[in-house]
Amino acid sequence: MDDVTDTVFRQVIADLAPADLYFTEFVNVDGLQSPGRANLIKKLKFNEKEQPLIAQIWGLEPENFYKTARELVEMGFAGIDLNFGCPQKNEIKCGACAALMNNRTLAGEIIKATQEGAWSAGQRTPVSVKTRLGFSEVDFSWQEFLLGQKLNMLSIHGRTKREMSKVPAHWDEIGQIRQLRDKISPGTLMVGNGDILSRQQGEELADKYGLDGIMIGRGVFQNPFIFSRVKPWKWGEWDAASKIKLYQKHVELFRDTWSAGQRSERPIATLNKFCKIYINGFDGAKEMREDLMHCKSAEELLSKLQAHKYNQAEV
């Protein structure tokens, strides 16, 4: 998730309850292969904890997908995922992401260029696509097209582009696409995505619809232990001091990762999304969030967290 699942958050999650597979935020290949590269390359930062890790990319120019795929293989990513599902105005306006559903010639060229780049060094680094059910309506001809492209994996977010995230995900349709997969491309792994709030719920959906995997996005905002297979962790029962200490750890990692130079590589406001995750579910959490979200630096944030009365008690 853009501006969420950076190396910092992936490391925090990996320490709490690791996911089986991680994805980077989506990274624009046309920007990456331009003088603006420095602004984007940071999104591809990772360490050994966040494994296996797939790089997700988007853009328009097949040549840039080819070049980027070669680089990603060299950097050691476990796979390359193409974003053909983002419904945001900026991406759609330029004809990228979900707009590629209406430009299959270009979508095919992008897949081919990425596969050639990913496979050029003799390794067969997997290439996958994440997309939606259709543009304005559910459109199985789109997934049929994708299933003809020798993809290693196809992830389906169970909504159309038009639906954005405004209606519940349509899992029956994801199941129908799995049946198409069985007929057209049995070797392509199928992953379902949309509205999963626990690992157990995800596994039940995978069983029901015969999927190879499930992808969790916003569910992690409600429970950072969501990927745990060991036991049903009760995030809601964590006390205030433990949650504050976890946020402290996140902010320290954020500072150490992104504030090496004069200027932080990521704005401090990026942390506000995380503040809502950790500073939640205890007396005074709302007021505390309001206070923390006004901080202008990681240091200011850390000193407020350190000084908080809940944080003074022994855990």
Ligand X SMILES: Cc1cc2nc3c(=O)[nH]c(=O)nc-3n(C[C@H](O)[C@H](O)[C@H](O)COP(=O)(O)O)c2cc1C
Candidate residues 25, 30, 50, 163; the one interacting with ligand X per rule CB under 6 A = 25
Candidate residues 216, 253, 292, 301; the one interacting with ligand X per rule CB under 6 A = 216
Q: Considering the rule CB under 6 A, would residue 4 count as an interface residue with ligand X?
A: yes
Candidate residues 194, 202, 244, 304; the one interacting with ligand X per rule CB under 6 A = 194
By beta-carbon proximity to ligand X, the closer residue of 1 and 180 is 1
DSSP assignment of 259-306: -SSSS-SS-GGGGHHHHHHHS-SSTTHHHHHHHHTT-SSHHHHHHHHH
Q: Count the residues of the shown chain that bind ligand X, applying the rule CB under 6 A.
A: 19
Site map 55..94 versus ligand X, x via CB under 6 A: -x--------------------------x-x---------
CA 2 to each of CA 9, 86, 287: distance values in angstroms, whole numbers, following the listed order: 12, 11, 27
Sheet-wide strand order for 53-58: 22-28, 53-58, 79-84, 127-132, 153-157, 189-193, 213-215
DSSP assignment of 6-19: SHHHHHHHHHHS--
| Contacts (Cβ under 8 Å, ≥6 apart) of 188 | 147, 151, 152, 153, 154, 181
Q: Tell me what percent of the chain is helix, strand and coil, each rounded to the nearest 5.
A: 50, 10, 40
Q: Which residue is nearest to ligand X (CB)?
A: 217
Q: Considering the rule CB under 6 A, would residue 218 count as an interface residue with ligand X?
A: yes
- Identify any residues that bridge with 55 across adjacent strands, giving them in sequence order: 80
By beta-carbon proximity to ligand X, the closer residue of 7 and 311 is 7
Taking Cα atoms as reference points, which of 57, 98, 99 lies closest to residue 81? Answer: 57
The residues annotated with a catalytic role in the active site are 86
By beta-carbon proximity to ligand X, the closer residue of 2 and 61 is 2
By beta-carbon proximity to ligand X, the closer residue of 73 and 156 is 156
Q: Shortest gap between Cβ of 217 and ligand X (angstroms)? A: 3
Scanning 46-54, 137-145, 187-195, 306-314 for contacts with ligand X by CB under 6 A, the matching segment is 187-195
Q: For tokens 């206070």, name the residue.
A: 291
Q: Which amino acid is at 108?
A: G
By beta-carbon proximity to ligand X, the closer residue of 176 and 201 is 201
Q: Shortest gap between Cβ of 130 and ligand X (angstroms)? A: 5
Per CB under 6 A, contacts with ligand X among 118-137 are 130
> How far, in Å, CA of 238 to CA of 242, rounded?
6
Interface residues with ligand X (CB under 6 A) are 1-2, 4, 25-26, 56, 83, 85, 130, 157, 165, 193-196, 216-219
